[in-house]
A and B are shown apart, each in its own frame.
Chain A
Amino acid sequence: MNKKHTTEKKSKEKAERKPRSLKAVNRMETVMYTLPAVIVIAAMIFVPFCLSMAYSFMKWNGVSSQSVFVGLANYKKALLNDAGFRHSVIFTAEYTAAYFVLSNALALLLAAALSRKMHLASLLRTVFFIPYVMSMAIVGFIWKFIFSQGFSSLYDLFGWKWLNYSWLGSPKLVYFSVVLVGVWYSLGFYVVLYIAGLKSIPNDVLEASEIDGAGAARRFFSIKLPLLMPSVCTCTLLSVTSGLQVFDVIMTMTKGGPGTSSMSLTYGIYQEAFTNQRYGLAAAKSVIYFIVIMILTQLILKGFRKKEVDL
């Protein structure tokens, strides 16, 4: 007790006598404690990001020590005469739209069912969550096997015509296959988010509406859904951004094929840089991609800020 008192006194005296040096110590500490974070984030994210910006104006093959400044040529090429890039933009947009709608609608439905008082609710939640803990790349392989081998065997069993289609070999069908696998992989993630959202709705509000005579559908759309808006916002944001980043499953299941029919933006950038060795062009594409993602994120956040309700 006594000791404590003296140290306290000492530190107070110190502070009074040399306010400047204490401030300096504090400042030193602030810098020292944040420095590791600053260094690693700068090295792994900001430096490569700024270099990508810089190299988007250059021509570089990744190997040679020299890169040539070409101005806006890469952007012009990507935006005006690159049919593959345009196609990958369309594919990614269509994929993201379907992925967003399906995963949110199905997850909301499942979450509404699983948040009822059931014995098997937690078991079922586990079942739907299992794919999400797997590696997305391996999930691509799993479904490659199912589409290419399993479906034909199931066709022999059931004789349904759609099982005999070439789900990975046809340019039109491959889109549905990629969407299916994307939704299958992450559905459980959105289900648990919506369950958490539904559980946070206070019971008295629901009971009050029931006493007022609202039916199940009315209760869902007029009470639960508006109060669920924060969860919907989170899930929308996450599903749109992860839809736009679809990569691993394309890489292992389709390799962008057949032809370039399932080439996503991110996989296109990867190939442009590491297969075609056109780093400048790939960098320009990543900058365009970054701008698109930023705009969409801001739009979603703004859109939801208006719609949130308070109790």
Chain B
Amino acid sequence: MSEIPTDLRYTSSHEWVRLEEDGSVTVGITDHAQDALGDLVFVELPEIGIALSQGDACCVVESVKAASDIYMPISGEVLDTNQALVDEPEIINNSSYDDGWIFKIQPDDEDDIEQLMDASTYESELEDE
């Protein structure tokens, strides 16, 4: 069973979202997603400063067998990206919820996070897969 921290919010496309104290939002992919993809070999990060809407494909993670788009969980502007992933994409495999964060956004509306799934809903969705 994969790890699903209870303090995060989730999307059905397997992104996790964390609201930071400064009002920014950190985004990554879940433990389940990294496990399904296998050893990651490449991460294409979004452009800093770009404004995107919820559901837009904004970057790509790639393993030997698959490439998967990462979608904006909520609308906002990209503030920062995790440059460490450029040389070591495997950080996502090793630490998907911490060191393996992918990008940070300034949400258009912080309350949008409330629409996303909580841990138990995400967990039951995974069980249905």
Q: Do A and B come from one complex?
A: no
Q: Interface residues, chain B, CB within 8 Å of chain A?
A: none
